[in-house]
């Protein structure tokens, strides 16, 4: 399994109660399942609206099961941002 960092932004950061934490997972789906287990409640709801970057690359509509995580990688959790 790969180990890396998950970084939370804006509403995701508030819901997680932390700016970042470590992951140990092979895929984005596995990492997010672990996050949901550690942070039930508001963060689980926020994640449904988030977009994700894995090592700087947008995940977009790809199935999270197919998004491989690298050793030492970074997952950015980005809730929708309001513009103005």
Q: Residue 32: beta bridge partners?
A: none
Residue 24 lies in a domain: yes
User: In the prediction, which pLDDT does 36 show?
Assistant: 96
CATH of the domain at 27: 3.10.20.30
Domain count, the chain: 1
pTM for the full predicted model? 0.93
Residue 68 lies in a domain: yes
Residue 83 lies in a domain: no
pLDDT tens digits along 39-70: 999 999 999 999 999 999 999 999 999 999 99
User: In the prediction, which pLDDT does 82 show?
Assistant: 59
Give me the sheet containing 2-8, strands edge to edge.
Answer: 20-25, 2-8, 74-78, 51-54, 57-58
Q: Residue 73 sits in which domain range? A: 2-78
Label residue 13 by pLDDT band (50, 70, 90).
Answer: very high
């Amino acid at each position: 399994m790969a180990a890396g960092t998950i970084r939370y932004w804006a509403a995701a950061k508030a819901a997680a109660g932390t700016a970042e934490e470590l992951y140990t997972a092979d895929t984005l789906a596995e990492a997010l399942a672990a996050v949901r287990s550690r942070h039930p409640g508001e963060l689980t709801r926020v994640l449904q609206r988030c977009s994700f970057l894995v090592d700087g690359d947008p995940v977009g509509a790809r199935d999270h099961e197919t998004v491989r995580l690298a050793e030492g990688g970074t997952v950015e959790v980005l809730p929708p941002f309001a513009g103005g």
